[in-house]
Amino acid sequence: MGVNPVYGVMTADAKRAFVLNQGDGTVSVINAQTNRLDTVPVSLTNPTNPTNPIQLCIAPACASPATVNPLWADFAPVRNEVVVANAGDGVNPGSLSIISIPLCSATAQTGNPNCDLNNPVDAIGFGTVVATVPVGVNPVMVGVLQDTTNSRAYVINKGNTSLPCAAPTAAVTAATTTCSVSVINLNTNTVIATIPLPLSLSPNASTPANNGHPNYIAVTSGTPTGKVYVVSPDSNFMTVIRTDTDAIDTTVPLQGGGVSVRVTQP
């Protein structure tokens, strides 16, 4: 492992596990069938590190691995990618790392007799950071839309936790921070929308409106639209976003602050 591992995810086929190392800005890859570190091939973004871990700090945009702070990941299985939310320093904009993770497959087996489908090796390009996408301040979680192409990823930006969130239509000042959802087009690896979270009404007269710092997101596909659900521990409702318009659909009152949200399979 790298320094200070904080979160891990495993592919649906249970062949690879990925561990986010917050202390050194890396991702360790485990071959789950051998319970050993995977042998990640040399790539353009890891030219001198052919094994493990995958480096998320890519020069010249990133100068120090300690500033990356990866803390959450999700899969885009149709695209053979894992996406990693990097919190950064919590004051300036963080990022989303998009990593290619293809394995040898039945298609490749014809010309590659070494491609064992029971224990497939990494395909060419595995471990390459194909893009690092700037998002909002303090991104803490990401969810991939599981549609037919894994077309988009949704990142919640918690903002500077020492400052209150600005209202959706208000300008951000030195005394406020932006709390939002970034929408990333995974075809172009660019941010196509930033959705400010609405105000939460509070029974406390001294703070009649409070815009919560989001801390949890759930993304589900569906017809005619998928939905994105966002909750905040300092907000008394859940925000629901439509994925066909990437706009807020409604808010749902809660009996307290929202700490987590999960959805059933579509």
Question: Pick from 30, 28, 33, 63: which is nearest to 49 by CA?
Answer: 28
pLDDT > 70: percent of the chain:
87
Instruction: Evaluate if residue 154 carries a pLDDT over 90.
Output: yes
Instruction: Evaluate if residue 204 carries a pLDDT over 60.
Output: no
H-only helix segments in 10-105: none
Q: What is the spatial distance between Cα 233 and Cα 254, in angstroms, rounded to a whole number?
A: 11
Q: What is the spatial distance between Cα 233 and Cα 200, in angstroms, rounded to a whole number?
A: 11
- Contact of 162 with 153, CB cutoff 8 Å: no
Q: The tokens 């192409």 sit on which residue?
A: 149
Instruction: Evaluate if residue 118 carries a pLDDT over 80.
Output: no
Segment 139-168 shows an average pLDDT of: 92
- Contact of 14 with 3, CB cutoff 8 Å: no
CA angle 225, 262, 139 (to 5 degrees): 85
| 10-19, 108-117, 155-164: least confident range | 108-117
Segment 144-150 shows an average pLDDT of: 93
Instruction: Evaluate if residue 119 carries a pLDDT over 80.
Output: no
Q: What is the spatial distance between Cα 210 and Cα 233, in angstroms, rounded to a whole number?
A: 11
Q: What share of the chain is helix, strand, coil (3-state, %, to 5)?
A: 5, 40, 55
pLDDT at res. 203: 54
What strand order describes the sheet that includes 129-137? 70-76, 81-86, 93-100, 129-137
pLDDT confidence band for 230 (50 / 70 / 90) = very high
pLDDT at res. 106: 62
Q: What would the DSSP string read from start to end of 85-124? A: EE-TTSSSEEEEEEEE--B--HHHHTT-TT--TTSPPBPT
